[in-house]
Amino acid sequence: MSSSGNGQGHTDGQDDRPVEVADVVEDYLTDKGKGAEGKSGTYRRDAKRELDRFLTFLEDERPRSPTTFEELTIRDIRQYARHIATQDWTKSTKQNYYAHISAFCGWAVREGYLDENPALKSRAKEPLPEDDGRKTERQQAWSPEQRTALLEYVDEQAHEAIDEVGENRYEAIKACRDRALVYLLCFSGVRGAEVLADVADARRGRDGLRWSDVSLNDNTITVLGKKGEWSDRAVPPSAIPSLERLRSVLNPSSDDWPVFTTLSYPTLVKTFKDELVERDYTRKEAESLHRERVNDGDVSMIELCVEYDVDPPALTTHSARRILQRLTEEADIELDDDKHGYLAPHGARRGAGEVMVREFGYTEAARHLDNSEEVVREHYSHIEASERAQMAETAFQNQRPSQKDVPDQDSDG
């Protein structure tokens, strides 16, 4: 987009060469990232993906010359909007992907690379599907029937495994971990990223809930919220016994252990050997110990980690989704959800929100979900609409004339 005035914002300030778009993307991602060096965070990850897609598109359009901010025009953005509009994505996804490009251009304005944001122009956005505010699909929310079925199934699995804990402690740990995960998601309404590890975010608080973050006596957990602030979240008493049993069966060697640990064999083997080498064991000694105790013995890798006080990695959000998919299938729970096909973590959160809104209203639901009342009202507007429908029905029923006041329609008068 051609500059106005002296155009100094469009050069690098040293040799007056135009600034190439690709050269400052990392600066933008760092500004938007989380952590001490801005290298973490879901937004950074998503923004990088969409900016890479955008740059690839521009390179395909202009193979002989790298695109600079000075060259960037409304027409370029419009063409990209048209490219997005032709993809097999939902309307909201198209709008979201375009928003990343618009945000980057807005940042470029503030940095002095652009005079104005071309992505905000109506001509640029015109090819995109119109955002009319309608919800194209209802997000998943665990129903009372689904919630009960899943809880009963994980209870049954845990009880059976605990009965055999002396023979197979690994299976007991696995069943208790899965049950505690389901109970916590179901009743606390926490976001999965608040209690599970996010591989794209290295911050403390995005590396999985630790036992030091759990207060079983106070029915609370301390998590890093969506806004990057630590807060205490309520854990209803119904979820506490599953956490207590998990801790007793796992018997973690310290409170630094994740509550929901990975049980991936390759991951645990690597973690164990690397940690022992850090303690001045030789690699050969670490491998020999693993072989004798696990391969040739009767100890599982997670038990060996407990014995040697080796903190295992936390369960990731991706692995948790796979666990819930397995549990949904094993419990034979029917879903009317073509998008997921299983009870997803965010569905537990929305289900908890449904319960809180219906029982205690939007204000208390917002507090329980660590969200604003405005957002909660928007997400659960169908509940209020349903209640208004019942109120309207009652009002019209009360205003119906009595039978004696209704004129005889067969009368000639």
Q: What CATH number corresponds to the domain at position 119?
A: 1.10.150
Q: pLDDT tens, 6-48?
A: 344 455 544 567 888 999 999 999 998 877 677 777 788 889 9
Mean pLDDT of 75-101: 90
Q: pLDDT tens, 167-197?
A: 999 999 999 999 999 999 999 999 999 999 9
Asked if residue 278 is part of any domain, the answer here is no
DSSP secondary structure string, 204-223?
A: TTSB--BGGGEETTTTEEEE
d(CA 299, CA 291): 10
Per-residue tokens: 45: 């990850």
Same domain, 231 and 320: yes
Total domain count, the chain: 2
Residue 59 C-alpha from the chain's centroid: 32
Asked if residue 131 is part of any domain, the answer here is no
Q: Answer yes or no: is pLDDT of 164 > 90.
A: yes
Edge to edge, the sheet with strand 214-215 lists 214-215, 220-224, 230-234
Per-residue tokens: 330: 């094993």
Find the domain containing 229 and state its range. 144-262+313-330
Asked if residue 15 is part of any domain, the answer here is yes
Q: Is 253 left (phi over 0), alpha (psi -120 to 50) or beta?
A: alpha
Same domain, 14 and 96: yes
Q: Is 342 left (phi over 0), alpha (psi -120 to 50) or beta?
A: beta
Asked if residue 358 is part of any domain, the answer here is no
- List Cβ neighbours of 342 (8 Å cut-off, separation of 6 or more): 321, 324, 325, 328, 329, 335
Confidence of residue 399 (pLDDT cuts 50, 70, 90): confident
Answer yes or no: are the C-beta atoms of 20 and 70 closer than 8 Å.
no
Neighbours of 338 (CB within 10 A): 7
d(CA 71, CA 87): 26
- R_g over Cα of the chain: 28
Same domain, 106 and 235: no
| Helix (H) or strand (E) segment spanning residue 306 | helix 301-307
Q: Which residue has the higher pLDDT, 350 or 8?
A: 350
Q: What does the pLDDT read at residue 117? A: 95
Per-residue tokens: 390: 């019942």
d(CA 411, CA 39): 82
Last residue of a domain, one of 295, 330, 365: 330
Asked if residue 284 is part of any domain, the answer here is no
Asked if residue 104 is part of any domain, the answer here is yes
Compute φ and ψ for 366, nearest 5 degrees. -65, -40
Residue 118 C-alpha from the chain's centroid: 31
Q: Answer yes or no: is pLDDT of 238 > 90.
A: yes
Q: Mean pLDDT over all residues of the chain?
A: 88
Same domain, 21 and 69: yes
Asked if residue 303 is part of any domain, the answer here is no
Same domain, 211 and 322: yes
Same domain, 185 and 324: yes
Answer yes or no: are the C-beta atoms of 112 and 8 closer than 8 Å.
yes
CA atoms lying within 13 Å on the CB side of residue 411: 5
d(CA 409, CA 413): 9
Asked if residue 381 is part of any domain, the answer here is no
Q: Give strand ranges (E) for 60-110.
A: none
**CA-based nearest residue to 79, from 96, 104, 101:** 101
Answer yes or no: are the C-beta atoms of 13 and 24 closer than 8 Å.
no
- Among 55-69, 79-93, 221-235, name the one with the lowest average pLDDT: 55-69
Quick check: helix, strand or coil at residue 316?
A: strand
Q: What is the pTM of this model?
A: 0.71
Mean pLDDT of 348-355: 94
Q: Residue written as tokens 């029915």?
A: 219
d(CA 172, CA 161): 5
Same domain, 51 and 80: yes
Per-residue tokens: 31: 């500004």
Confidence of residue 382 (pLDDT cuts 50, 70, 90): confident
Same domain, 120 and 149: no
DSSP secondary structure string, 7-56?
A: -GGGB-SSS-PBPBGGGGHHHHHHHH-BSTTS-B-HHHHHHHHHHHHHHH
